[in-house]
Each structure stands twice: as structure tokens, then as C-alpha cells.
Amino acid sequence: MPDVSLTALTIDEGIAGYRDETVDSAVRLTRHLGVRHHIISFHDLFGADLDTLLQKKGRAERACTVCGVLRRKALAEGARRVGGTTIATGHNLDDEAQSVLMNLLRGDLVRLIQDSSSGEPACFLPRIKPLAAIPEKEVVTFLFVQGYFTELPECPYAGTALRSEIRTMLGDLEFRHPGTRQRLMKWQERVRERVTPRSIAGELTRCTRCGALCNSEICQACRILESLGIE
């Protein structure tokens, strides 16, 4: 890749019995590939790890929502610290198809059509997903064969999320009806072509704090940060 320099960024949320092992794998992988690696933790950024934040607020049932919001913030801060100009995340085809289905089931048209690949000047860096067309199974198989993982740790909070149910459902559908994930992605693409932000302008506004597209004065992410006492 000419004219591109990569820096790997690992977010350590502080999830006991899960994250330590995957951080070790990331250290081994980046060392092997000769890629500069930066680790940034919730503890450093927000003053406490995820386990503690959730305990304090009694919000274990919303763990994935809280974690997702804080992780996005951590990624942006990490990218700023290493001087990054684009954030490339590791989302795979399964992650992406699950998100389409989740947004559909929540009736969240704004999020369904939101495309962050070109970023928002002065708000967000562009976010790209180079692995988005590759099924999770292929990514994981590659890592196993290469010896980066010997077992696959699962996040202890995963079972609490809607995504977990969608994941199981989509896995079953894909098994019985191969191509389901790709068809979902194709459908999202077609909706994006037809539904422009302008056509849903009535339900769309910008968060007054962070500038994200949302359907209320303050976006969900900023509301969660406020409730956790994080600016």
C-alpha cells in the first residue's frame, strides 16, 4: 500500500477474564507484522475500567451500548494521539449484517443510512471497514491457522445484548439460506441510494454536542456519556 502508514490501535476496555488475552494476541500479531501498536485503556481515558463503570451505574444490562459509545470515543482519541487521518476498524461481514438487521428491528432509519466512510469535517475522522466483505468464520480460521489464537475468548457481556440474539438468528438463516448476509448488505446499499439524509430531514438533526446525525437534540452517545459523568 503506497503512501499509507498503519498504526494498530487496541482498546482495552477493562473486562476481566476477556480482554487481557486478546490484547496479548494483538501484541503478538503486530510484532510479527512489524506494525506500530498503541494500546489505550478506558481506565486511562475515563478514570475507570468498563467493569467498574457498569457496576457503579448498575447498567450491566446495557453493557454493549455503553461499551460501544465509549469505545468509539476511545478510538477517536487514540487516532488523534497517533496522528491518524482515517480509522480502519475490524468489522467483518457478520458484524455488518447483524447491524443492518438490528437497525431494521429498531426502526432506526437514521442509523441504517448513516455512512461514516467519508467522516465529518471537524467532528469525525473517516471510518473505513476493510474486512466488511469477509465472513467472520474466514477471519477467525485465518487467525487460528496462523497461530494467533488457540481458543476464542468471548466477551462476558455478549449474552446481554440484542446483537447476541441476532447473531444466533442470522447464523441459522445463513446456514439454511446461504447468501443471507450479502443480501442484507445489498439491501442496505439500495436503501442508502434511495433515502438521502435530505429526504428524512424532518426526523434528522445534528447533535448539539458532537455534531453526529441523530433524531433528537442530543445524541444517544452524548446522553450516555453525560449519565456516566464523562464529557
Least distance from Zn ion to the Cβ atom of residue 221, Å: 5
The 3-class SS string of 87-123 reads EECCCCHHHHHHHHHHHHHHCCHHHHHCCCCCCECCC
Which residue, 139 or 210, is less far from Zn ion as judged by CB?
Answer: 210
Which residue, 111 or 209, is less far from Zn ion as judged by CB?
Answer: 209
Query: Is 182:88 a contact under the CB 8 Å cutoff?
Result: no
Q: How far is C-alpha 37 from the geometric centre of its chain's CA atoms?
A: 19
Least distance from Zn ion to the Cβ atom of residue 225, Å: 8
Which residue, 40 or 219, is less far from Zn ion as judged by CB?
Answer: 219
Q: Which residue has the cell 474466514?
A: 138
Please state the φ and ψ torsions of residue 55, each to the nearest 5 degrees.
-65, -45
Site for Zn ion, rule CB under 5 A = 207, 209-210, 212, 219, 222
Least distance from Zn ion to the Cβ atom of residue 227, Å: 13
Which residue, 69 or 155, is less far from Zn ion as judged by CB?
Answer: 69
Least distance from Zn ion to the Cβ atom of residue 73, Å: 10
Which residue, 129 or 209, is less far from Zn ion as judged by CB?
Answer: 209
Least distance from Zn ion to the Cβ atom of residue 100, Å: 23
C-alpha cell at 24: 496479548
Q: Kindly provide the b/e burial profile for residues 128-164, where b requires at least 16 CB atoms within 10 angstroms of the residue's own CB.
A: ebebbeebbeeeeeeeeeeeebeeeeebebeeebebb
